[in-house]
Amino acid sequence: MLANLFIMSFRNQWFEKSEIQEIEHGFSYVHSCLNELKWPNPLEISAPFSAFYLYAHGSKNGREIVSKYVEFFVDKVFDAPLSEDLYPLLDQIYSHLQWKRTSNLYHKINERKSLTHSEDVQDFRSNLNDPRLSGLYKNQNEKLNIDFTVDILPFPLQILDPRIVKIPAGKNNELHKHAHETVFVFISGEGIVKIDSMEVPVKAGDFVYIPRWCMHQSINTSDSEMIFLAVADFGITGKSFTGNYLKTARLKEE
């Protein structure tokens, strides 16, 4: 149920600041409407919050139950459990916030208009030596045998996020996990990709699937540089994820 995730995200302040403000405003507005005996203005709050007002009027203990929710989300009184009767309404609020984050992408898909951004053929092609490649991340840690770089391709992508990963001979990248799913396309070198408890042997020309949230690591066992293209859905995952996404993507050394 999304409600549990919604509550946990609010308590841990994983929502964006604007989202927290919307949540607090929604419950405060419902509370004031109940006290002032007036109907909520649909232009003031979104429909999921209005549903709390309707519940308060339609249930014997509705006002008391809704008041507890107001205390939780506005006054941040977390010491008492919330009534699960209203969890479906929290589901709707969470879905509402998710839709606001991602709706622009879905609108672009359904507009059926070309997103071609240039008439220069060079803007649609790149290679490993392209000076337009931009460095995203690199890390070296002799103790953990870590040495690698990550570059971004120069395309205005909305959902896919292909990155070029380079690992020198005999080195590896970090053992890490993240919310996006990825496909690795190996261009050079050979070695092993760890996926949770499995070890997948790889060489140039291989494809490897990395599921969401699995622990994984790429190890170059060859005498030449390992290069692979990591194609992920970061564009949609980054918008959907609740919390600081970048803090979840890499593990810090203990």
What is the C-alpha to C-alpha distance for residues 221 and 70, in angstroms, rounded to an integer? 57
pLDDT band at 247 (very low <50, low <70, confident <90, very high): confident
What value does the mean pLDDT take over residues 130-141?
95
What DSSP designation does 252 have? P
Q: Tell me the domain boundaries of the chain.
A: 2-111, 121-249
Q: What is the mean pLDDT of the chain?
A: 94
pLDDT given for residue 253 in this prediction: 41
CATH number assigned to the domain with residue range 121-249, chosen from the 4 options 2.60.120.10, 3.50.50.100, 3.40.50.1370, 2.60.120.380: 2.60.120.10
> Average pLDDT of 242-250?
76
SS3 state at 49: helix
Rounded to an integer, what is the distance from CA 77 to the centroid of its chain?
Answer: 28
Distance CA 217, CA 93 (A): 37
pLDDT at 249: 67
**All residues at 6 or more sequence positions from 224 whose CB lies less than 8 Å from its CB, including other chains:** 169, 188, 189
Query: Any residues with CB less than 8 A from the CB of 201 and at least 6 apart, and which?
Result: 190, 191, 192
- Alpha carbons 210 and 249: distance in angstroms, whole number: 13
pLDDT tens, residue by residue, 173-194: 999 999 999 999 999 999 999 9
